[in-house]
A and B are shown apart, each in its own frame.
Chain A
Amino acid sequence: MKNWIAAALLLCPFTALAAEPSAGTVGNEMNPSISLILDAVGAYFSNERGFRQGGHAPTRSGPSLQGAELAMSASVDPWFRVDAAFEMSHLHLEEIFLTTTSLPFSLQLRAGQFKSHAGRLNATHPHQWHFVTQPLANEFIFGAEGITLPGAEISWLAPLPWYLEIKGSLQTGSAGVFRTRSIADGDPGFRDFLYPLRLVQFFDISDDWALQVGASGVFGPSDQGPESGNRAQAFGVDLFLKWRPIGAGTTGHTFVAWTAETWVRQMEVPDDLWTDLGATGDVVFGISKRWETALRLELWRRLAGAMSETRARYGLNAFRVAANVGFLPSHFSRIRLQYQIENIETYNSGHVLMLQVEVSAGAHGAHAY
C-alpha cells in the first residue's frame, strides 16, 4: 500500500513543492477595499392606499432612499477573507462574515452574519438586482431583508467535470416565515435554527450560451408558534439561461438573460397548515454598454389552508408585471425607469412608476454569476 501511495506522490513531485509563497504582490493589500453604494428612487403610486413592499422598496410617492451601503472586504491572512456591508440609511449591519480560502476536500466555510444561498436572489444586494424591487415570492417567504442572519455555511465543490456546488447553512433569528424561538423559551436546540440548503449546477453550453440550474430548500421553525414546535419550509427551483455573444466583432455588452424561479412554501400555524406557491420569471436584454431593459412577471397563489388576517401578513394572491429601461453612464452608475402594474387581493390594482439612481464609488468588488 505504501508503495502505491509513494508512487502517487512521486508522480507529482511538483505538487509537494508548491507551498512556497510567491515573490510578492502589488497593491495596497493591508487596507480593506471600501465602496459606497447609493440607491435613491423617486416613486409614483397610482393607489396611495395600495400594496406596499417592505425593506428596500419605496413605500410612498415621492423621493426615498432605498439604500446607502458601505461595503468592505479584505484578506485577513492566507486562510481567511472578511466581507462586511453596513446599511447606513437604516443604520444596521447587514453582513459581516469570514470566508475560508483553502479548506481541504473542496470545502469552503462562511461564518458571521450573511445572506444565505436560498434561490438565486437571496444572497444578493439591491444594486445587483435587475429591477428596483425584489420579487414578491422572496419577500413573502424570506421577508423584506431576506435571510440575512448570523450563522455558518459550509459549501462543497463536487469533483465533477461540470460545476456542481452544494451549500448549506445554519442560521438563527427571524426572516419572513421563519423564526427562532425566544431564548426565554429555553436554550435553542438544532430544531430551532434555520437551515437554508442549495444545490447549483452550471453548464457552459458554448462560448455564447450558459445555463445554471439550482434547487433550494429552507427548513426552520415557523414564525407562527415556534415555541409550540410549528415548522416552516420552502422548496424552490431556479433556472438561468444567458446568451451573450463574444465572437469577433461583438462588444460583449449585448445579451439576453432569462431567469425563472418557483417556490412552494409550507407554514405550520396553530390549527392549520398554509401552503403557497410563488413564481417569478424575468428576461433582461443588454442592448449596448449603456442601455439595458428588462421584463418581469410574478405570481403568488394560496394552495391550501384558510385565509385569515394573520395569513395576509405572509402573502396575498398577486399578479405583477414590471418593465424597466436602464441607462448606464459608466460601469459605476445607472439610471433606471421602472413601470409596474399589480393586481393584489384586498387592494385595488395599481400602477407604480419608479425612477432609480444607483451609483457605486470606490473599489466595489465583482459579483458572483
Chain B
Amino acid sequence: MKPFSAIIAVTILLLAGTNGWCAIRVVSTIPDFSDLAAQVGGKRVSVTALVRPTQDPHFLDAKPSFLLSLHQADILLYTGMELEEGWLPPLLQGSRNRAIQRGGAGNVDCSRFIEPMDVRAPDRAMGDIHPGGNPHYWTDPRNGLRIATGIRDTLCRLDGAHCDEYHRNAAAFEKKLNAKMKEWKADLKPVAGKRVYVYHESWVYFLDFAELVQAGAIEPRPGVPPPPSHAASLIARAREEHIHLILQESWYPISTSRLIAQKAKVRLAVLPTMVGAAGTENYIQLIDAIVREVIK
C-alpha cells in the first residue's frame, strides 16, 4: 500500500503544480518585478521573468513556453495599463491556472500600487496611448518601493504564516532603497531642471524623480517612428531650448537619435530599463546605472 500512497502524494504535489520544495512561484512579465519579489520573498519564493531585459516589453511573441511557466505560477506580477496587452492575454487564458486569472488570488497588476502619470483619453489617432496612464513606471525608485510593498502585502495575503518574514525583508529593502534614493537625489541635483528629449515616452516617472523636464519626444506620437521632418524640428528646437540629453532604451532604432544628438550637439544616453540589462543584477543596480548615465 505504501508505494501506492506515495504515488498519490507525489501526484498531489504535481497537481498542485509544485516544485522547488514548495517555494511560492512568482512569474513576472518584466524582470524588475521578479527582482523586487525576490527581495521581499527571500528564500520562500522562486522567480521567473518572461521579458528579457533587453527586449521591448510591448512586443513579445506569445511563446507557448511562457504558458508553462504561467501554468505553474502562484503569483503573476505584470505592469498593467495594457503594456502587455499584445501578448499576455492568450498566454493567461491558455495557462489554465485560475489563481492568476483576472480576479484570481495571484493576479497582481502592479500599476495598482503606483500613482499613474500621463493619463489621457486612449485615442489611437494620437498614437498607441495606453488607457489608465503611462505604463513605464518602474524606473522611478519611489515606485519601486511602492511595488515592493504591494508584493509584500500580496505574499502576506497568500502565505500569512510567513508574513512577518516578508515584512522584515521588505523593511530591509526599503531601508536600502531609501538610503540609495538620498544618494541618487544628491547625484542628480546638478542636472535638476534641465530639459531632455526622449525617444519613447517611457521616462516620465524617472524624469519626475530626477526633476528633469521632458522637452520633446523623438517619436512624434507614441509607437510611431519619426519622419525626417520631425527630427529636423527637434534639432532646431534643441539648439534654442538648450536640450541637455537624449534618453532612449536599447531596443529603439538609434539612427534618428544619433543624428539629432550629432547635429544639435546633445549627448545621447542609451539606458537600461530592466534588471539584467547593462550588467545589472538587481533593482538598485539598475537605478544606479540609469542615474550614472544621466549625470555622466
Contact = CB atoms under 8 A, between A and B. Distances in A.
A363 B130 CA distance: 11
Interface string B195-229: 00000000000000000000000000001110000
Interface string A9-23: 101111101111111
B67 interface: yes
Nearest to A10: B22
A313 interface: no
B89 interface: yes
A306 interface: no
B65 A204 contact: yes
B9 A8 contact: yes
Contact of B158 (A14, A26, A203, A369): A14
Nearest to B161: A13
Question: Which of A14, A108, A163, A368 has the most chain B CB atoms closer than 10 A to its own CB?
Answer: A14
A368 B90 contact: yes
A51 interface: no
A101 B62 contact: no
Nearest to B104: A22
B98 A8 contact: no
Interface string B63-98: 111011001001000001100011111100110111
Interface in B237-296: 250-254, 277-278
A331 B223 contact: yes
B105 A19 contact: yes
Contacts of B68: 157, 161-163
A365 B89 contact: yes
Interface string A239-250: 000101011111
Interface of A: 1-5, 7-9, 11-15, 17-27, 29, 75, 78-79, 81, 99-108, 157, 159, 161-163, 165, 200, 202-204, 207, 210, 212, 242, 244, 246-253, 288-290, 329-332, 361, 363, 365-369
B4 A1 contact: yes
A369 to B, nearest CB: 5
Contact of A11 (B14, B22, B74, B254): B22
Of listed A107, A108, A157, residue having the most chain B CB within 10 A = A157
Contacts of A165: 64
Contacts, number: 198
Nearest to A250: B251
Given A247-B52, A330-B124, A368-B62, 4 more contacts: A102-B96, A161-B68, A365-B85, A365-B90
Interface string B96-108: 1111011111111
A128 to B, nearest CB: 12
Contact of B6 (A4, A19, A99, A290): A4
Interface stretch (B29-37, B53-61, B137-145, B185-193): B53-61
B103 A25 contact: yes
Contacts of A25: 102-103, 107, 109, 112
Given A18-B158, A330-B128, A368-B90, A78 B104 contact: yes
B96 A22 contact: no
Interface in B4-57: 4-6, 8-10, 12-18, 21-22, 24, 52, 54-56
B159 interface: yes
Contacts of A244: 61
A171 to B, nearest CB: 20
Contacts of A202: 63-65
A11 B13 contact: yes
Given A106-B96, A248-B250, A250-B251, A369 B62 contact: yes
Q: Considering residues A8, A105, A108, which has the most beta carbons from chain B within 10 angstroms of its beta carbon? A: A8
Most buried by A among B86, B90, B93, B278: B93
A244 B48 CA distance: 21
A5 B55 contact: no
17 contacts: A4-B2, A5-B9, A8-B8, A8-B10, A25-B109, A26-B112, A78-B104, A104-B15, A157-B68, A161-B68, A162-B65, A163-B67, A204-B65, A253-B59, A363-B85, A366-B89, A369-B63
Contacts of A329: 224
B239 to A, nearest CB: 28
Contact of A78 (B10, B98, B159): B98
Contacts of A249: 54, 250, 254
B149 interface: no
B42 to A, nearest CB: 14
Nearest to B44: A14
B8 A5 contact: yes
B157 A20 contact: yes
B65 A78 contact: no
Given A12-B16, A12-B18, A18 B63 contact: no
Q: List the 5 closest A-B pairs by CB distance, nearest first.
A: A102-B98, A1-B5, A8-B9, A202-B64, A163-B64
A4 B88 CA distance: 38
A29 B253 CA distance: 36
A210 B96 contact: no
A81 B16 CA distance: 23
Select the residue from A3, A252, A331 with max chain B CB neighbours within 10 A.
Answer: A252
B134 interface: no
Given A29-B102, A162-B65, A251-B56, A5 B90 contact: no
